[in-house]
Structure 1
Amino acid sequence: MADRPKALFTMHARYLSQLFPAPLMDRLEKLVDIDPSLVAQRFDQPEVALALADAEIMITGWGSPRVDRAVLAAAPRLRAVVHAAGTVRHLIDDACWERGLLVSSAAQANALPVAEYTVAAVLLAGKGVFDARERYRADPAFRRREEDPAAGNYGRRVGLIGASRVGRRVLELLRPYDLALTLADPYLDAAEAARLGAELLPLDELLRTSTIVSMHAPDIPQTRGLLDRRRLALIPDGGMLINTARGALVDHDALIAELVTGRISAVLDVTDPEPPPADSPLFHMPNVFLTPHVAGSMGNELERLGRSAVEEIERLTDRRPLAHPVTQSDLERVA
């Protein structure tokens, strides 16, 4: 079809086949004129420069170089950036907004596995599974039912910090369980929180009253170090902190100081820095379940991100509004 808009992939080439397996790639090629063998990881390659000059749509992903003023000057026909991954904060330059580019993200699709990981962590934490594993290793005669009457999820208070895409999905998935769900978010009112199935609380009160605290706020200047030494100390003894958002939301040194005491535990899929230094005590603490940023899309889940991108391109080619647009003002309060 001669009228298909020209498009260009920009991302780490290793992700392409997982994001766009053959049936999905066939669907994409019916919509746009794109060369699947050309995946730009730099914009200074001659063949990329040629494709960039004609590109109307840029399909980006993890590892894409930043789309800045110089790139836009080399891409006079570019009108949309469709990101087959989560945040575009690192990708989109102010010049993109000045140009009036349409920008879309697969952040909604990427939120799903993060929420699923979080829900699993919440339910396992409530049962005391992480602690029981360590105690069982040390003493095969250990029996949780007899030694910890506080374990269990019936009526357990779970506090979520941030009604992000992930936070909202976590609330939705936890709603059928017999949990008391609370939420802290400065952009919500009590009525909206209630619609999400949670009681809205000030942050300090949420920390004081929740035995499981889960982070879902964006990494923006106002939230960096949000959980500092004072606030971490508010979490009740025996409490659990779950962080699948960004490591910078929690004061790293203050968290380690709390964890060293054994007073609280943590499930950490993100840290600051990431990864932690090789000699970090986080790797060896029995009260820390540490994973290497795996909560987001991985393996066969990447196809969901590619499908989201293809569906957005279908909307573009049909001249319909994007389902997952990102605006400059969004970046002031979302990831």
Structure 2
Amino acid sequence: MDRHLPARLLSAQAGARLAAVCAVAPEPLTEFDSPRARAALAGAEVLLTGWGSPPLDAAALALAPRLRLVAHAAGSVKGHVTGAVFDRGISVTSAAWANALPVAEYTLAMILLANKAVPALAREYRARRADLELTRRDPGFGNHRRTVGLVGASLIGRRVLELLSPFDLDVLVSDPYLDPGEALRLGARPVGLRELFAASDVVSLHAPATPETRDLVDAPLLAALRDGATLINTARGSLVDQSALVRELRTGRISAVLDVTEPEITEPGSPLWDLPNVVLTPHLAGSLGTELFRLGDAAVDEVLRAAAGLPPAHPVDPAALASSA
């Protein structure tokens, strides 16, 4: 992983738990080519990985004959775990379930704020510096009996469904892999994508970035959004046709909360920086700050389970990678 990451991932307690069952390398590996890296890999039974890990391809695995577990202290393993790892029967675990928690919390907050029209009203209040006479306005905002649509019943999508359950909201979900009965058990009504966009006051995206989902949210779907609706994207920017989104936002008809865009950092000249109906955040919904310790704890738990001869709690299924984040 990145050399600065261990101190942010592993609390003193987590480090002590790890040291109780493992001989821990004093410094993280950031490459697999140096003599130090080769010596560490030669004896390694476990790799605790994080952001910035080099690819674990066949050449790297040849240097690690004893490796039996890759415990990833983050979400997706697609950036560093190759098919060669699974071909050799090495167990892979992920803390995706832990990273889903803050993303879902961010999403919940933004859904409630969007329905309450907080971003727009805060701007108006700052501009007018006077009573907005909100009680006299048409009841076009609020969180009672509003409709929220979730695209994707991923780990994050399911957690959002749990967090939405105490509120008086009507929840829709669209996911081709979700059984209708399970959707109802999760507290949502399963619908097609077009119906979800047309019926929702807020649409939140939780589908994985795959070739099939690129530009999933296109111009016709954006046009189907009702006036005043909000699109929230905490998944990946590639899910949305960026040009179509900008065109729709420029009309002022809808709003957007964008924690991710394509490219990852929006170009300096993009209208998204200045449009008043856009909340643009720097990919902060996932684990940051103190939340990183949860990821470290999750990975350490997997190492401790392996040391005790127990199966992994959160294994990565290679067959599911093509349709997951």
TM-score range, shorter chain: over 0.9
Q: How does 1:84-123 map to 2 (within 5 A)?
A: 84-123=73-112
Q: Is 1:40 the equivalent of 2:29?
A: yes
Aligned twin of 2:42:
53
CA distance in 2: counterparts of 1:209 and 1:277, whole angstroms: 32
Q: Is 1:75 the equivalent of 2:64?
A: yes
Aligned twin of 2:227:
237
Q: Deviations over 1:216-264 (max 9, x none)?
A: 0011111111001111111111100000111111111111111111111
Would the aligned equivalents of 1:38 and 1:48 in 2 still touch at CA under 8 Å?
A: no
Q: How does 1:121-132 map to 2 (within 5 A)?
A: 121-132=110-121
5+ residue gaps, structure 2, are none
5+ residue gaps, structure 1, are 1-10
Q: Is 1:205 the equivalent of 2:195?
A: yes
CA distance in 1: counterparts of 2:172 and 2:164, whole angstroms: 11
Amino acid at match of 2:176: P
Helix, strand or coil: the match of 2:149? Answer: strand
Aligned twin of 1:175:
165
Q: How does 1:264-275 map to 2 (within 5 A)?
A: 264-275=254-265
CA distance in 2: counterparts of 1:195 and 1:312, whole angstroms: 29
CA distance in 1: counterparts of 2:79 and 2:221, whole angstroms: 29
Amino acid at match of 1:82: A
Which residue among 282, 285, 291 is the counterpart of 1:292?
282
Q: Is 1:214 the equivalent of 2:190?
A: no
Helix, strand or coil: the match of 1:293? Answer: coil
TM-score normalised by length of structure 2: 0.98
Q: Is 1:133 the equivalent of 2:122?
A: yes
Moved more, 151-160 or 315-324: 315-324
TM-score normalised by length of structure 1: 0.95
CA distance in 1: counterparts of 2:290 and 2:93, whole angstroms: 22
- Count residues with an aligned counterpart: 324
Aligned twin of 1:327:
317
Which residue among 140, 151, 165 is the counterpart of 1:161?
151
Amino acid at match of 2:59: A
Q: Is 1:16 the equivalent of 2:6?
A: yes
Helix, strand or coil: the match of 1:159? Answer: strand
Q: Is 1:195 the equivalent of 2:185?
A: yes
Would the aligned equivalents of 1:161 and 1:217 in 2 still touch at CA under 8 Å?
A: yes
Deviation at 1:52, TM superposition (A): 0.7
Aligned twin of 2:240:
250
Deviation at 1:146, TM superposition (A): 2.8
Amino acid at match of 1:228: D
Identity fraction in percent? 52
Amino acid at match of 1:50: A
* CA RMSD of superposed structures (Å): 0.9
